[in-house]
């Protein structure tokens, strides 16, 4: 326990040295990745305030959702093929409030474009932290017939309706051919030393 706290302080201390960014390190798994020299997930210290028009648009659930997923922030498993991907961001209200405890339930196909419809491979849910942040470790999903590259997600603030939507990648040729694709759902994606990093803030209209 003491070792973990010290490591956490070291990570946060290094983050404070950076003027405008900080390291998002809230799970042992991420700390391990950071120690291993991976590109850390970074978020601006304060998210830009969304306009009311910036509400994250819904998308079709598609045929491959499975309920009752395991709670976990990493969907990556040992030996799983595919480029490592970290996705992070805030869950915000249209009045710019960060939403702690919001549920995010992610699911996606593997690097070959296949969904696990029997088990929970590449499926998992998590909750935003006290600052309204989430982080997902996964792999870059593959392509399958008729669709561009995407990650499915359900987002739900406490006691609010569920938003079902999808996240997309920039500069994908198939974005232009996918009738479901919405440019408002494209992540900001950077290439890191050990994979890719996607940034996306969800904006929910609260009832």
Residues of the shown chain interacting with Fe ion in the complex, contacts defined by CB under 5 A: 62
CB of 147 to Fe ion, least distance (A): 6
Distance of CA 35 to CAs 89, 133, 151, Å?
21, 21, 27
Where do the DSSP E strands lie in 94-145? 103-107, 123-127, 133-139
CB of 166 to Fe ion, least distance (A): 7
Backbone angles phi, psi at 41, to 5 degrees: -75, 130
Q: How many CB atoms lie within 10 A of CB 166?
A: 21
CB of 129 to Fe ion, least distance (A): 27
Q: Which is nearer to Fe ion, 34 or 148 (CB)?
A: 148
d(CA 74, CA 86): 9
CB of 152 to Fe ion, least distance (A): 6
CB of 156 to Fe ion, least distance (A): 19
Three-point CA angle 134, 191, 143, nearest 5°: 80
d(CA 198, CA 64): 23
Q: Which is nearer to Fe ion, 24 or 185 (CB)?
A: 185
Q: Which is nearer to Fe ion, 149 or 196 (CB)?
A: 149
Residue in the shown chain whose Cβ atom is closest to Fe ion: 62
Distance of CA 106 to CAs 3, 87, 96, 97, Å?
31, 11, 23, 22
Q: Which is nearer to Fe ion, 22 or 181 (CB)?
A: 181
Q: Which is nearer to Fe ion, 28 or 60 (CB)?
A: 60
């Amino acid at each position: 326990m003491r070792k973990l706290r010290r490591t956490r302080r070291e990570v946060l201390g290094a983050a404070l040295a950076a003027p405008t960014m900080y390291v998002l390190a809230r799970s042992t798994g991420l700390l391990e990745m950071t120690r291993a020299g991976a590109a850390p997930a970074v978020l601006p210290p304060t998210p830009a305030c969304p306009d009311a028009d910036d509400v994250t648009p819904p998308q079709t659930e598609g045929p491959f959702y499975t309920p009752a997923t395991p709670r976990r922030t990493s969907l990556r498993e040992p030996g799983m093929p595919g480029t490592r991907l970290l996705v992070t961001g805030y869950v915000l209200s249209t009045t710019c409030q960060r939403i702690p405890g919001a549920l995010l339930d992610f699911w996606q196909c593997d690097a070959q474009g296949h969904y696990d419809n029997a088990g929970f491979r590449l499926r998992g849910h998590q909750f935003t932290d006290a600052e309204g942040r989430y982080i997902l470790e996964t792999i870059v999903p593959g392509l399958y017939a008729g669709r561009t590259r995407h990650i499915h997600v359900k987002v739900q603030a406490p006691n609010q309706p569920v938003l079902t939507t999808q996240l997309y990648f920039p500069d994908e040729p198939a974005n232009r051919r996918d009738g479901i694709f919405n440019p408002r759902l494209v992540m900001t994606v950077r290439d890191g030393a050990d994979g890719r990093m996607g940034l996306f803030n969800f904006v929910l209209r609260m009832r």
